[in-house]
Structure 1
């Protein structure tokens, strides 16, 4: 595998790995399955907290990612699209159609302001071609930022 892809795969591992760490079980159980009753800001924050604390995707994550994406959250959409792309969850949509070009633009702006999660989500989006074409060099650059 080319060296440029190794860093991207590490970032993908951070973003998309399945949670099999037993101590994370109690933490997983404390999170809701969706964003019911939350506004878009609170739902976006829930996505970020889940991604930090769950040590990877779980079935609970997908409902939250789906809800956040419906509310326009870029990281939620990339997280959902990534899970669909690696077949962690079934979704009627194709992964490449989940993330919009506008969301890529928003992630770029946030990444430029040194938001690490936005940079990693953008690296995943470029790697898979979400919201545009695949750009491995950009993906690698962002994954190592």
Structure 2
């Protein structure tokens, strides 16, 4: 008879005991590992554009120096640890994403009659105009807050 942990792992698909084996197929939503992979791809591609290549090169040089001094390692070693860590974390995150999507789909089905009434009562142009007005009010208030919070250095004279 399997242990309680093994049964729970098979029901949830989570790696409870940390042995790297879970009772489920690979995660459906690989949010973290895909995000990290996309970030690395974009970073590598940014080196080909003259406008940002200097900044990315400088940032990478600084990061390499900081990591070598602070962690006594290099970026490749950190990358080798991060990729599997994100893949392992995806096993925990994927069920949460699935549950959230199922919950959202259920709520949309529950609210479908209300949405249909709103579509009939409030035309799209009216909703767009109202939202544009509210956005304009938000921007004006944001400008006022920025002016109020602007702190000038009294030691600097013009």
Normalised to the residue count of structure 2, the TM-score between the two structures is 0.28
Q: Counting helix residues as a fraction of each chain, which structure ranks higher?
A: 2
Of structures 1 and 2, the larger Rg is shown by 2
